Amino acid sequence: MESKRTIVIAIDDSEHSEFAFDFYVDNVHRHGDHIVLVHVPEYSNILSASSLLTDPNIIAEMIKDTEERTSELVDKYSFKMQQKQLHGHVRQQCGKPGEAILECAREEGATMLILGTRGMGLMRRTFIGSVSDYCLHHDFPSLSADINPSLLTDPNIIAEMIKDTEGQTSELVDKYSFKMQQKELHGHVKQQCGKPGEAILECAREESATLLILGARGMGVMRRTFIGSVSDYCLHHATFPVLVCRHKPFKHDKQS
């Protein structure tokens, strides 16, 4: 018997959000899923703008407009849930979107968090921020290390590293081939060369992928900017849905 899943889906009035919801319904949904739709109204934008506005009537009108659009959005997705006979509820959170969405996911004990991405460029994501980036990299800390081949001058060391990598690759292929046989899954293992993000997307395009699934290590924003993150690259360069999986518990869960 499969355990019940709690799926948190972030919604707003964009087409990206609606695509994410529809994709879940058509491709990810399981019978028994409990769905929590979370929306974060854009009050923070109004508060930022209020420092530039001196007329309280204009501010009040902006707040009223946001509340009306929020109400329409909640009604829209509540109706979509009823149409698809989905079980769950719509929840409204306040605060910065990324932080508020993750807070909701923790409180609901989410099995999976689904949200759309608008595909902002690297510099815009770095200085303005991306909700999908924030959610992708802020639910637990991690540490990784890299070796720069330019620091090595001994060809024997480089040859040994290449040999070791080939051995690890062979073991990895064998491991996942066995896992596929165990689960009676149909498919094959493919080895690709090049920069990881580019190579993965090239493979996905060649295979006409419906969905790309990969893990995320949770690097910090500066490290992602200058070194690069495979999940970030695929998330913002793919022309098809990308599912990024986090295997560790939320920091909140560790402290409780």
Query: Would residue 247 count as lying in a domain?
Result: yes
**Residues 86 and 164 occupy one common structural domain:** no
| pLDDT at position 129 over 50 | no
Q: Given this model, what pLDDT does residue 54 score?
A: 62
**Residues 159 and 254 occupy one common structural domain:** yes
| pLDDT at position 88 over 50 | yes
Domain CATH code at residue 222: 3.40.50.620
Residue 94: Cβ within 10 Å count: 10
Query: Would residue 122 count as lying in a domain?
Result: no
Rank 13-17, 36-40, 160-164, 243-247 by mean pLDDT and report only the highest.
Answer: 36-40
Domain boundary among 75, 97, 116: 116
Which is more confident, 229 or 39?
Answer: 39
Query: Would residue 52 count as lying in a domain?
Result: yes
Q: Given this model, what pLDDT does residue 111 score?
A: 86
**Residues 150 and 249 occupy one common structural domain:** yes
Query: Would residue 51 count as lying in a domain?
Result: yes
**Residues 253 and 151 occupy one common structural domain:** yes
Let me know: does 78 contact 21? Beta carbons within 8 Å.
no
pLDDT confidence bin for 122, thresholds 50/70/90: very low
Q: What is the pLDDT of residues 163-208, one digit of tens each?
A: 777 788 888 888 888 888 899 999 888 877 778 888 899 999 999 9
**Residues 103 and 168 occupy one common structural domain:** no
Q: Given this model, what pLDDT does residue 49 score?
A: 54
**41 Cβ contact list (under 8 Å, min separation 6):** 66, 67, 70, 92, 94
**Residues 151 and 237 occupy one common structural domain:** yes
| Residue carrying structure tokens 């990810």 | 28
Q: How wide is the angle at C-alpha 161 spanned by C-alphas 231 and 175, nearest 5°?
A: 60
Q: What is the pLDDT of residues 59-86, one digit of tens each?
A: 677 778 888 888 899 899 999 999 999 9
The mean of the pLDDT values for the chain is: 75
Q: What's the CA gap between 141 and 26, in Å, rounded?
A: 32
Residue 122: Cβ within 10 Å count: 14
**Domain span holding position 99:** 1-116
Let me know: does 112 contact 30? Beta carbons within 8 Å.
no
Domain boundary among 116, 131, 166: 116
Structure tokens at 71: 């109400």
Which is more confident, 123 or 82?
Answer: 82
Q: Given this model, what pLDDT does residue 118 score?
A: 62
**202 Cβ contact list (under 8 Å, min separation 6):** 192, 194
**Residues 58 and 93 occupy one common structural domain:** yes
Q: What's the CA gap between 192 and 221, in Å, rounded?
A: 27
**Residues 52 and 107 occupy one common structural domain:** yes
**200 Cβ contact list (under 8 Å, min separation 6):** 192, 212, 214, 230, 234
Q: Given this model, what pLDDT does residue 60 score?
A: 75
Q: Picking from 77-81, 115-119, 208-212, which range would have the lowest pLDDT averaged per residue?
A: 115-119
Query: Would residue 131 count as lying in a domain?
Result: no
With 0.95 as the threshold, say if the pTM is over it.
Answer: no
**59 Cβ contact list (under 8 Å, min separation 6):** 46, 49, 50, 53
**Residues 108 and 206 occupy one common structural domain:** no
pLDDT, average across residues 1-26: 85
**Residues 112 and 151 occupy one common structural domain:** no
C-alpha to C-alpha distances, 233 to 11, 116, 164, nearest whole angstrom: 23, 15, 27
Let me know: does 251 contact 218? Beta carbons within 8 Å.
no
Q: What's the CA gap between 47 and 63, in Å, rounded?
A: 9
**Residues 14 and 110 occupy one common structural domain:** yes
Report which secondary-structure segment, H or E, holds 135: helix 131-137
Q: What's the CA gap between 94 and 111, in Å, rounded?
A: 22
**How many domains are there within the chain?**
2
Q: Given this model, what pLDDT does residue 156 score?
A: 62
pLDDT confidence bin for 255, thresholds 50/70/90: very low
**Residues 6 and 100 occupy one common structural domain:** yes
pLDDT, average across residues 18-41: 89
Q: Given this model, what pLDDT does residue 34 score?
A: 94
Query: Would residue 11 count as lying in a domain?
Result: yes
Query: Would residue 170 count as lying in a domain?
Result: yes
Query: Would residue 239 count as lying in a domain?
Result: yes
